[in-house]
Chains A and B, each alone.
Chain A
Amino acid sequence: MHDVIASYFPVLVFGVIAVGIAGAMLGGSLLAGHQKPYAEKTSAYECGFEAFDDARRRFDVRFYLVAILFIIFDLEVAFLFPWAVSLSHVGLFGFLSMLGFLGMLTVGFIYEWCKGALDWD
């Protein structure tokens, strides 16, 4: 088990250095630039008028639907990774069990296609 942790140690060092570089760039810009904010400059961008209200509002339910469908298909892909690696061990039975699994999801996929869940206006 110890070598598993050891193989991730460079990832940690790499991450620290990368984060350091990005932070230094952002911080350097904050220090180097001449900051002079005033109300007009810091108001939200609009086409020449004051913003009517807060920008964080409700939006189309289709965005949620896409996020939910993505979770489902992401899980499907997650199940495929160990299968792809061990297909030579699990043989025909494993292949067929995956076909059954994918078949069920394909039924769902056809359902959502026919229902128009994948259409955007």
Chain B
Amino acid sequence: MIATLSNFLFHTMLGHVVLVALETLAVLVPLLLGVAYLTLAERKVMAAMQLRKGPNVNGPFGVLQAFADAIKMLTKETVIPSGANRFLFLFAPFLTFSLAMVAWAVIPTGNGIAVADINVGVLYLLAISSLGVYGILIAGWASNSKYAFLGGLRSAAQMVSYEVSIGLIIVSVLLAVGSLNLNDIVLAQRHVWFCLPMFPMFILFFISALAETNRAPFDLPEGESELVAGFFVEYSALAFGLFFLGEYANMFLMSGMTSILFLGGWLPPVGIAPFTWIPGPIWLIVKILFCLFCFIWVRATFPRYRYDQLMRLGWKVFLPLSLAWMIGTAGFLMATGLLPHQGVS
């Protein structure tokens, strides 16, 4: 029985598809549960920071709140504005949410364990995150509402501006790794996590991640006080829900990228006995949760930026800083002969 099953899974084409599908679900199901509970965690953490209780009615400590929200959103009416482009209006939230999930295909959760272990994993992540602009831009245009349109434009310009510095920061990490494979990037941090030697870049990356996911203090595309809700002002029911969940899924993705690039991915903090007993995926999850906590912490702490300040920070501070750091890293590695000889890998 077991022999036939393993023969089916490992030696036939269909079995291969089934195996990959099972791996996919093993990543996506925890991710979706995590996204659902992140919405609750955010409310709880912010409540604690503001000396409130947060949701506590549905189930013990409000743990059923996530499901209550989901059922409510599912059964609401999807209002499609009369002036809107119907197909694109529904396509935009669908795209945003799918992209946030698709990116997880390449994230390694253990040594060589990833659904797809591709050679250019970093570029794949960068490509997927650069597509995030479309969901917002299309939503803003398709709604045919002034607030949505302006919110979409602002958001697109903001995401695009911070993508440049994210790219430059990734290049500085790659200089120390010598490979575009995510697994190699994690393995290169065996001795020291990159967040220590590249601490300024770690901070810059985290702030850029905030801007890239439109989170506070850079959440002005949806600034309620001026644009009501920005690009999703016309959305309701699960079409709105997909944008909402997409934002949280993107937070997970950015936390995952931060963990892999700077916090040693699935590696334990030190490679000695009690730490190495805990499996890699647990370490990765712990690091992701830490980053997510910081996301929420920042939201509870800082007031919203003004748009001109946001663009100034992106173009006049982050871009020159990350460029200078990248050149400095290259020069330092050249001078000390510490460049990784990896091109062949």
Contact = CB atoms under 8 A, between A and B. Distances in A.
Interface stretch (B156-164, B191-199, B207-215): B156-164
Interface centre among B75, B78, B228 (most CB of A within 10 A): B78
**Interface extent on B, as a size class?**
35 or more
Contacts of B242: 22, 25-26
B15 interface: no
B118 A11 contact: yes
A51 B319 contact: no
A21 B209 CA distance: 25
Contacts of A37: 77, 79-80
A1 interface: no
A9 interface: yes
B11 interface: no
B292 interface: no
Interface stretch (B19-27, B58-66, B277-285): B19-27
Contacts of B147: 45
Interface stretch (B47-55, B138-146, B257-265): B138-146
A13 B116 CA distance: 10
B123 interface: yes
Binding site secondary structure of chain A: helix
Contact of A7 (B97, B102, B119): B119
| SS class, residues of chain B in contact with chain A | helix
Contacts of A26: 90, 93-94, 238-239, 242
A18 B320 CA distance: 37
Interface string B292-336: 000000000000000110011001100110010011001101100
A17 B76 CA distance: 25
B305 to A, nearest CB: 12
A86 to B, nearest CB: 5
Nearest to A91: B334
A85 B174 contact: yes
B160 A70 contact: yes
